[in-house]
Chain A
Amino acid sequence: MAADKVDPIHQFQITKILPIQVGNLDVSFTNSSLFMAATVIVATAFLVFASSNRSLVPNRWQLVAEMSYSFVANTLRDAAGKAGMQFFPLVFSLFMFVLVANLIGMFPYFFTVTSHIIVTFCLAMLVIGTVVVFGIWKHGFHFFGLFVPKGVPGALVPLVTVIEIISFLSRPISLSVRLFANMLAGHITLKVFAGFVVMLSAAGVTGVVGAILPLAMAVALTALEFLVAFLQAYVFTVLTCMYLNDAIHPGH
């Protein structure tokens, strides 16, 4: 049936490329792993290649690499101050990983790593884990003052504290859901409109004429998806910087 041919969810299916079983644990090398590895390799290769001939007047590749560096550096410096720059390697790696993964997903027939919530959730947990560990290591028990607001009537303090803790715990979830939902929704929409083109053009001359509209839509959506790919990497980076700011100075 036509429904099988243009199944918009099929692109997110995980397939095993190299089945590996360790005890009861399934650690197979899947298409997701393949594209994660590809993301890391592409990002690394790009940066190494772009910075290979460090000229004073940069060529185009070097310019792009320098722009991405200063973009992330400025974002981090604005959000977390000069002390935040010690986290620059982490933040820059996250930004490049998410951005390259999103952009690789834009190729037809390629797998989008960031469209799976477990991947984005792991990235978010990495960030929050860093915040908590660094905050406690740096400030000790004082870090938990983040949850106890000042100037609240005594009777309300337990209630507000619980709400603050839930709010803190919801950060990794909202961080990961945002990235995942954007990528998933965008790719499904693209697939659906592309599917309309295929189905309509199979229905004779009138169908081909009618297919122009979804085709134009698909083209426009592709452009939008490139914007979203970049924007979501940026949003992820900004929020990472803001959370790190809490860890660096929870109460100065």
Chain B
Amino acid sequence: MVDRPEGNRPDAERAGGRTDGETTASPPEPALADRLERLGASLEARRSEDGVEKSRVRSTGFAQAVKVASEFVAGVVVGAGIGWGIDRQLGTSPWALILFLLLGFAAGVLNVLRAEGKVAEAGARLREAERRRSSSPDGSGGDIA
């Protein structure tokens, strides 16, 4: 929006300079491509700006509370569920339930720390390791698949 007058000026000058010439259709085309390119660049800039702004916005307190609580509870519930399932299948009651409930607590805490950004995401940490490995000189890493 702001740079529109600037964008118009060279176009107008060029058009004004060549009105007596025979080609009135071809000069606007490079100008148009130019402007399109500039539009693309400014859109890209706006996009990254928006992204930065959005990540800075914090949600409301209630939403935050429900988020953290559900993360923690989900870990415990899944751990207990797995333990209960193993107990049922193998008849080891109640040992698997106890073990996986404890692991579930650990997973719940991990979920909460991750939700709060205190621990890196599993994928992010893996990517970091990958990058370090591939940037090292011996790097033949990343060809496991």
Interface assignment of A151: CB less than 8 Å from any CB of chain B: yes
| Chain A residues whose C-beta falls within 8 Å of the C-beta of B103 in the assembled complex | 159, 162-163, 166
Q: Return chain B residues, CB-CB under 8 Å to A139.
A: 145
A177 near B123 with CB under 8 A, answer no
CB distance from B95 to the nearest CB of A (A): 15
Task: Evaluate contact between B67 and A167: CB separation under 8 angstroms.
Answer: no
The answer to whether A28 has its CB under 8 Å from any CB of chain B is no
Instruction: Decide if B122 is an interface residue (CB 8 Å cutoff).
Output: yes
Residue contact A245 to B74, C-beta cutoff 8 Å: no
Confirm or deny: A235 has a beta carbon within 8 angstroms of a beta carbon on chain B.
yes
Q: Of A74, A159, A182, which contacts B50 at CB under 8 A?
A: A74
Knowing A74-B47, A78-B51, A228-B63, the reply to whether A166 touches B70 (Cβ < 8 A) is: no
CA distance A228 to B144 in the complex (A): 44
**Contacting pair B145 A166 (CB below 8 A):** no
Contacts of A171 in B (CB 8 A): 74
Residues of B within 8 A of A232 (CB): 63
**Known interface pairs A147-B122, A149-B125, A174-B70; A163-B107 also in contact (CB < 8 Å):** yes
Is B130's beta carbon under 8 Å from chain A?
yes
Given A228-B63, A231-B60, CB of A177 within 8 Å of CB of B70: yes
A interface majority secondary structure = helix
With A146-B123, A252-B130 in contact, is A181–B145 under 8 Å at CB?
A: no
Encode B83-98 as 1/0 by CB contact (under 8 A) with A: 0000000000000000
Interface presence of B121 (CB below 8 A): yes
Give Cα A240 to B62, complex, Å: 21
Classify chain B's interface size.
Answer: 35 or more
With both beta carbons as reference points, the residue of chain A lying nearest to B78 in the complex is identified as: A170
Instruction: Tell me, yes or no, whether A178 is within 8 Å of chain B by CB.
Output: yes
State A235–B71 Cα separation when bound (angstroms): 13
Considering the chains assembled together, what is the distance between the CA atoms of A237 and B127 in angstroms? Answer: 23
A149-B125, A235-B59 known; A170 vs B108 contact (CB < 8 Å): yes
Report whether A245 and B47 are in contact in the complex, using a CB–CB cutoff of 8 Å.
Answer: no
Q: Do the beta carbons of B78 and A150 come within 8 Å of each other? A: no
Contacts of B145 in A (CB 8 A): 139-142
Among B62, B111, B144, point to the contact of A174 (Cβ < 8 A): B111
Instruction: Give Cα distance in the complex from A226 to B126, angstroms.
Output: 39
What's the minimum C-beta distance from A214 to chain B, rounded to whole angstroms? 20
